[in-house]
């Protein structure tokens, strides 16, 4: 890798041993991909994936403290993934004991570290930092040092920013030195596609199911999706952006997708069209039967597959304001149709703190509360990452949550029926 004089000086230790190690990390990271240079980060804000003060992650907090003690914190402020705990979310006495006394004992300590390292503000905790309400929305072409797979794939695909699928810690180290290695999704070549995905379904495909199918098929490659504009239209409006948020999260967690193009919809597909498709690109056709196969083959991890659901999470990644309103309408209508007033399964809708604040300012909030549904800023994944939840029959419409936990996946329609006492509940 060819470094500038300034970068070489940092690597040589002229600005201290710790900063030299940070630079060494970024150079070695780039060398693994044949990167020939480091390029400046141009986004206003960064986004970190590590939001949780898990006792087991002590080596991470030790490393953060090393950075703080050396005075090398980044000047670039950042948002971070959701908090793992919220008293509003139903939990047993035992769960609360495990969360507070065993698992997340480092939460307060780590949040103080985050504040010192440059956290935007105390509400900057969400995997959907790019929501208008959250204010960390990069521009097309900006170079990022973000982590959080769902945010990276959204920033690349829907916003047209440029970011590799960086790991936690690499995210902040890039920001500290102000540079990231130039490879992969930062390059024009790395943003070309090697898969053409043809969506031939007879109805609008479930976002998180379609994303799962594509992620499992293409893994880390860049898919070019044809036929989805038939269902989403050709404008990146609220509905399309919410759909792509959920779709992308599933491609990234069920596979390792960092960028997708949707023909006639996402910015680079609109601008460059099929010239994005590399020679010899493979093809994957998705029809109704293929989506049914994918859903059917998800393993059921519940001890008793016929158990009655004890909890439902919707909102991984966090819901948009429009999605919160939409769920409110649907839950109310479905409860009324089923002759019920309250949801029959404890249900939590999760969204970013500032999205929830905006939601609470609408008349929808009172209506949703009346159905018995709880809203939270929590990370459902962090809530469920413990052996107690493994035994708990939790349902979700998040394919990311399904992938990492024992939660069972259902489509939005199936979830709606299940929580409102419908026929298929």
Partner 1 sequence: MKLFQGRVITPGEVTAEAVVTTQGFNTLASLQMALQFGDKEVKCGDQNNPELHGKPLIGRALCLPQTIGSTTGGLVLYCACAMKKNPACLLFSGPIDSLAAAGAVLADVWVDGVSMPVVDSLGEEFLSYVKDGMKVTVRDGGIVEVE
Binding site for partner 1 (CB under 8 A): 21, 24-25, 28-29, 32-33, 49-50, 54-60, 62-63, 103, 147-149, 152, 164-171, 184, 219-220, 252-253, 255-256, 299, 301, 385-387, 403-404, 406
State in angstroms the smallest separation of the CB of 80 from partner 1. 12
E strand spans, 126-217: 179-181, 193-199
State in angstroms the smallest separation of the CB of 32 from partner 1. 4
Q: How far apart are CA 102 and CA 93, in angstroms?
A: 13
State in angstroms the smallest separation of the CB of 96 from partner 1. 17
Q: How far apart are CA 68 and CA 117, in angstroms?
A: 7
Nearer to partner 1, 152 or 319 (CB): 152
Q: Please, which contacts does 17-24 make with residues 24 or more away whose CB atoms are closer than 8 Å?
A: 17/70, 18/66, 18/67, 18/70, 18/72, 19/70, 19/72, 19/176, 19/177, 22/67, 22/72, 22/173, 22/176, 22/177, 23/177
Nearer to partner 1, 75 or 299 (CB): 299
Is residue 15 classed as helix, strand or coil in its secondary structure?
A: coil
Closest among 259, 260, 281, 77 to 186, alpha carbons compared: 259
Q: How far apart are CA 11 and CA 315, in angstroms?
A: 42
State in angstroms the smallest separation of the CB of 173 from partner 1. 9
Is residue 257 classed as helix, strand or coil in its secondary structure?
A: coil
State in angstroms the smallest separation of the CB of 421 from partner 1. 29
Give me the DSSP letters along 214-253.
HHHHHTTS-EEEES-HHHH-SS--HHHHHHHHHHHHHHHH
Query: What does the chain come to in residues?
Result: 425
DSSP annotation of 83: P
Nearer to partner 1, 28 or 115 (CB): 28
Nearer to partner 1, 99 or 359 (CB): 99
Q: Are 251 and 207 in contact (CB under 8 A)?
A: no
State in angstroms the smallest separation of the CB of 24 from partner 1. 6
State in angstroms the smallest separation of the CB of 46 from partner 1. 13
State in angstroms the smallest separation of the CB of 351 from partner 1. 20
Nearer to partner 1, 212 or 375 (CB): 212
Nearer to partner 1, 60 or 394 (CB): 60
Nearer to partner 1, 169 or 324 (CB): 169
State in angstroms the smallest separation of the CB of 271 from partner 1. 25
Nearer to partner 1, 57 or 281 (CB): 57
Nearer to partner 1, 50 or 376 (CB): 50
Closest among 391, 381, 394 to 350, alpha carbons compared: 381
What would the two tokens of residue 374 be? 């709880």
> What sections of 118-168 are H helices per DSSP?
149-157
Nearer to partner 1, 256 or 281 (CB): 256
Closest among 67, 60, 171 to 106, alpha carbons compared: 60
Q: Are 99 and 92 in contact (CB under 8 A)?
A: no
Q: Are 79 and 126 in contact (CB under 8 A)?
A: yes
State in angstroms the smallest separation of the CB of 60 from partner 1. 6
State in angstroms the smallest separation of the CB of 54 from partner 1. 7
Q: How far apart are CA 156 and CA 162, in angstroms?
A: 6
């Amino acid at each position: 890798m060819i470094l500038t004089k300034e970068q070489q000086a940092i690597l040589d230790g002229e600005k201290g041993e710790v900063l030299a190690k940070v630079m060494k990390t970024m150079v070695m990271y780039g060398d693994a991909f044949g990167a020939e240079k480091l390029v400046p980060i141009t986004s206003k804000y960064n986004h970190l994936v590590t939001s949780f003060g898990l006792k087991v992650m002590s080596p991470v907090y030790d490393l953060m403290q090393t950075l703080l003690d050396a005075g090398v914190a980044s000047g670039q402020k950042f948002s971070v993934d959701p908090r793992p705990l919220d008293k509003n979310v139903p939990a047993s006495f035992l769960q609360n004991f495990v969360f507070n006394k065993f698992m997340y004992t480092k939460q307060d300590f780590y949040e103080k570290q985050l504040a010192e390292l440059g956290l935007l503000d105390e509400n900057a905790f969400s995997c959907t930092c790019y929501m208008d309400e959250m204010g960390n929305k990069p521009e097309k072409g900006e170079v990022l040092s973000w982590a959080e797979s769902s945010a990276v794939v959204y920033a690349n695909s829907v916003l047209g920013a440029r970011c590799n699928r960086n790991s936690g810690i690499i995210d902040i180290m890039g920001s500290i030195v102000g540079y990231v290695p130039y490879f992969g999704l930062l390059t024009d070549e790395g943003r070309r596609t090697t898969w053409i995905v043809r969506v031939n379904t007879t109805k609008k495909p479930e976002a998180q199911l379609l994303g799962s199918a594509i992620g499992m098929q293409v893994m880390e490659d860049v898919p070019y999706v044809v036929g989805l504009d038939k269902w989403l239209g050709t404008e990146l409006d609220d509905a399309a952006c919410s759909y792509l948020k959920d779709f992308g999260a599933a491609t990234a967690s069920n596979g390792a997708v960092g960028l997708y193009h949707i023909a006639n919809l996402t910015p680079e597909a609109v601008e460059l069209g099929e010239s994005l498709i590399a020679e010899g690109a493979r093809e994957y056709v998705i029809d109704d039967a293929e989506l049914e196969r994918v859903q059917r083959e998800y393993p059921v991890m519940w001890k008793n597959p016929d158990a009655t659901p004890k909890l439902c999470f919707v909102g991984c990644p966090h819901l948009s304001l429009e999605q919160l309103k939409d769920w409110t309408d649907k839950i109310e209508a479905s409860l009324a149709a089923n002759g019920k007033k309250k949801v029959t399964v404890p249900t939590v809708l999760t969204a970013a703190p500032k999205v929830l604040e905006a939601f609470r300012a609408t008349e929808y909030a009172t209506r949703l509360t009346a159905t018995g549904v709880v809203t939270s800023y929590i990370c459902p994944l962090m809530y469920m990452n413990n052996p107690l939840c493994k035994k708990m029959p939790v349902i979700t419409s998040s394919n990311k949550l399904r992938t990492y936990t024992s939660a069972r996946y259902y489509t939005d329609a199936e979830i709606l029926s299940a929580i409102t006492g419908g026929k298929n509940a």
